Homo-oligomer: A and B are copies of this chain.
């Protein structure tokens, strides 16, 4: 995580203060449940809530940890300083550090997922708006970077919408995956703490009890979570690449919005570089970089080892903060993307009429020409367009073998753009629902 690629709300989620606040809530709710079960005195449970509105002193906790080399003990010591040593003495009873740490981490990931879901909603709204706006803005479809047949700009936005809607769905599942908590003790047997404490804490914090934990919540959940972030990041790259292609000088069908004060280059003032989408391409790689470590974290020794911890201290904040930033940046890019419909038409006509070759091929076949012959006829005329800059329609009209099969009107009709957009409504209905 670096400030340049961060947004405050997600950053706040990973700050020590937030973590300690969640630790506190877990401990306090656990005390309530313990008191309700008669394990600890009600007065002690109530006393813990005195810290409810007190800001924890992060520096003080660090100071204690420097001695004890144990973060949860350091926190509990500080909590006792606030609540009173005597009142606090039942806090954490029967629990193990990981009960607090793992439940907290899952709460943080769950809240991170909520922010990311909101980000995706914004992105989806932007994509939908631009899809509707350019529903019928015709441009050339390209496969392998080579002109194929006409599509519309709206279809491009629509396919990104569909992809990001899938990602939203995946992220909801990933959120569900990690929305569990565990208060099950040192090896997960509830030896020293009743399972009802876990149930109470989880209910209060919006979690499900982890059905079976060891000392830790199993890490396959987290592997799935970070893998999902990696897929979303890859989709961001997918959109970024499209925009970068559209902006390249020879294509110039769209540009990232370029504000007045902004300088594109210290040396070439005319340059407007797609730097935001290039940046997103790199950020996607970094979110993806969390996937393999998260998977390597699954295999822990016996009930647990702590090898996953240093990884999660990094990828927890890094991957969610970077993805949050990337989604917001992409939304801005989509929202303000400058579209050049005239250039789209000009590009499509670069090889005069050639984009209609598939239709002509089909028409010839339907007119009874063998597939092989039709292919040969189309290719023969196409090559003249390609190599000599001729006009495809005129060449066809002048090719006796072609006109033997197709009349002039039939040939003309193959060059109608409406032919290609006739199912755009159908596709939009599939993607956005019937309007």
Q: Which of B213, B263, B359 contacts A68 (CB 8 A)?
A: B263
A92 adjacent to chain B (CB < 8 Å)? yes
| B188 and A347 form a contact (CB under 8 A) | no
| B231 and A223 form a contact (CB under 8 A) | yes
From known contacts A68-B263, A150-B189, A189-B423, infer whether A212 and B430 are also in contact, taking CB-CB under 8 Å. yes
Instruction: For A274, list chain B residues within 8 Å (CB).
Output: 144-146
**Contact-residue size bin, chain A (C-beta under 8 Å from the other chain):** 35 or more
A17 adjacent to chain B (CB < 8 Å)? no
Q: Which of B141, B215, B231, B247 contacts A227 (CB 8 A)?
A: B231
A289 adjacent to chain B (CB < 8 Å)? yes
Q: Which of B85, B140, B249, B259 contacts A146 (CB 8 A)?
A: B249
A391 to chain B, nearest CB (A): 13
A42 adjacent to chain B (CB < 8 Å)? no
Q: Which of B238, B284, B306, B423 contacts A144 (CB 8 A)?
A: B306
Instruction: For A233, list chain B residues within 8 Å (CB).
Output: 295
B-facing residues in A232-277 (Cβ within 8 Å): 233-235, 237-238, 240-242, 244-245, 247-251, 259, 261-263, 265-275
Q: Which of A48-56, A110-118, A160-168, A400-408 contacts B (4 or more CB under 8 A)?
A: A160-168
Known: A144-B271, A190-B427, A192-B359. 8 other contacts (CB 8 A): A85-B370, A89-B365, A90-B365, A146-B273, A162-B218, A170-B224, A227-B228, A282-B293
Q: Which of B167, B269, B303 contacts A361 (CB 8 A)?
A: B269
| B420 and A143 form a contact (CB under 8 A) | no
From known contacts A159-B218, A238-B220, A310-B279, infer whether A296 and B296 are also in contact, taking CB-CB under 8 Å. yes
| B227 and A189 form a contact (CB under 8 A) | no
Instruction: For A420, list chain B residues within 8 Å (CB).
Output: 189, 191
A305 adjacent to chain B (CB < 8 Å)? yes
Instruction: For A350, list chain B residues within 8 Å (CB).
Output: 249-250
A309 adjacent to chain B (CB < 8 Å)? yes
A205 adjacent to chain B (CB < 8 Å)? no
Q: In the complex the two chains form, what is the Cα distance from A423 to B184 in whole Å?
A: 10
Instruction: For A213, list chain B residues within 8 Å (CB).
Output: 159
A382 adjacent to chain B (CB < 8 Å)? yes
Instruction: For A282, list chain B residues within 8 Å (CB).
Output: 293, 297, 306-311
A416 to chain B, nearest CB (A): 11
Q: Which of B144, B220, B302, B311 contacts A163 (CB 8 A)?
A: B220
Q: In the complex the two chains form, what is the Cα distance from A426 to B234 in whole Å?
A: 41
| B306 and A279 form a contact (CB under 8 A) | yes
